[in-house]
Amino acid sequence: MALFVAEVEKGVYISSNITFTELAQMFLDKYAKNNLSDTTIINYKYQLNKHILPEIGHYKINVLKKLHIQDLANKECEEYNLASKTIKNDIKLISAILEKGIEWELLQTNVAHKVAIPNNKNKPKKEQEIYNNEEIKLLFKALEDEREPFKTMVYISFYTGARRGEVLALRWKDINFENNIIKIQQNKIKTVNGTAFKDTKNKRSREFVVPEVLMKKLKNFYNNQDKEELLFNIYPSTYSRNWSNFVKKNNLKYITLHDLRHTNGSLLASKGVDIVTIAKRLGHLPATASAYYLHSVSEEDKKASQKLDELF
């Protein structure tokens, strides 16, 4: 009571009966909508609806305690077996929402601050999945029987290493048939109301020479479309779903569509292409490309080791 009286007299007492769910909706409507990208908002909504709101959404923000947030973090580790990074991202989102609540004078303290992130030792780090030479041959064989435009989309993804959204944002003006050059200028993303086009991930366009075999496939696919027309009019997640179905249908080793990009980078590294060139083609920083691809063991390296084994 003495603390309550003191807060009232100082003018710092805040009475708020809204729940965390209501504050989260205010965060999305009054802040995120006008300040964050549609992709970020979609990811935030997924995070909130998956575990955060079912666990702490019903609490009034003036009674929400640090222990409630800690219990959520521990439950995500122990019961839902989430990776520590995923748990950390959830706590960061809760903290960001509470910070806005403080800014809007709805509460005084951020109870998500300095919550301990549990180390989930039972969640092994996901290893990078790529196709080796034999698996690439099986991929190409399976593609022969596929219909357009899916077939050409996969060929572009494989031969260029472009991101999903970059492939779907390609227009015919980006294809230079005379010099075998493709220019990556935009990225097609999911939005709250559909799709939109934005800059590439690092805000820079890039162009590079592609193999003649890919250009032949593009020439076969081309039908005198307008230069401003998209090569593919498809929703991003539809492409990912079609890829997943294709892999399962043909009993190929399962890798994600994004892993096809890693396959491209690892294949170039195994053939002796320098890391700076790989980074430029894929739209990476050189340091990022090094982390992804320099550790991969090439087919040639395995063969070299086998030759040494045969010496004795």
Spell out the domain ranges in the chain.
12-103, 133-301
Whether 12-103 shares its CATH topology with 133-301 is answered no
Q: How many residues does the chain have?
A: 312
At 306, give phi and psi (nearest 5°).
Answer: -60, -35
Q: Give residue 118's region: left, alpha or beta (phi > 0; psi -120 to 50).
A: beta
pLDDT per residue over 297-310, tens digit each?
A: 455 555 555 555 55
Strand pairing partners for 206?
A: 184
In CATH, the architecture of 12-103 is Orthogonal Bundle (1.10)
Render 85-147 in DSSP notation, one character per residue: HHHHHHHHHHHHHHHHHHHTTS-S--TTTTPPPP--TTSPPPPPP---HHHHHHHHHHHTTPP
Helix (H) or strand (E) holding 167: helix 164-168
pLDDT at 37: 84
Helix (H) or strand (E) holding 191: strand 186-191
Report d(CA 159, CA 102) in Å as an integer: 50
Mean pLDDT, the chain, integer: 87
At 277, give phi and psi (nearest 5°).
Answer: -65, -40
Write out the chain's pLDDT in tens, 312 residues. 676 556 545 554 455 689 999 999 999 999 999 999 888 999 999 999 999 999 999 999 999 999 999 999 999 999 999 999 999 999 999 999 999 999 999 999 999 999 999 998 877 666 668 899 899 999 999 999 999 999 999 999 999 999 999 999 999 999 999 999 999 999 998 887 888 899 888 788 899 999 999 999 999 999 999 999 999 999 999 999 999 999 999 999 999 999 999 898 888 888 878 778 888 888 876 655 555 655 554 555 555 555 555 544
Q: What letters, b where the CB count within 10 A reaches 16 and e where it falls short, cover 47-73?
A: bbeebbbebbbebebeebeeebbbebb
Q: What proportions of the chain, in percent to the nearest 5, are helix, strand and coil?
A: 55, 10, 35
pLDDT at 188: 94
pLDDT at 13: 47
pTM (global) more than 0.85: no
Report d(CA 139, CA 250) in Å as an integer: 9
User: CATH: 1.10.3720.10, 1.10.443.10, 3.10.129.10, 3.30.200.20. Which one for 133-301?
Assistant: 1.10.443.10
pLDDT at 297: 47
CB 172 within 8 A of CB 225: yes
pLDDT at 8: 47
Q: How many CB atoms lie within 10 A of CB 248?
A: 10
Q: How many CB atoms lie within 10 A of CB 153?
A: 23
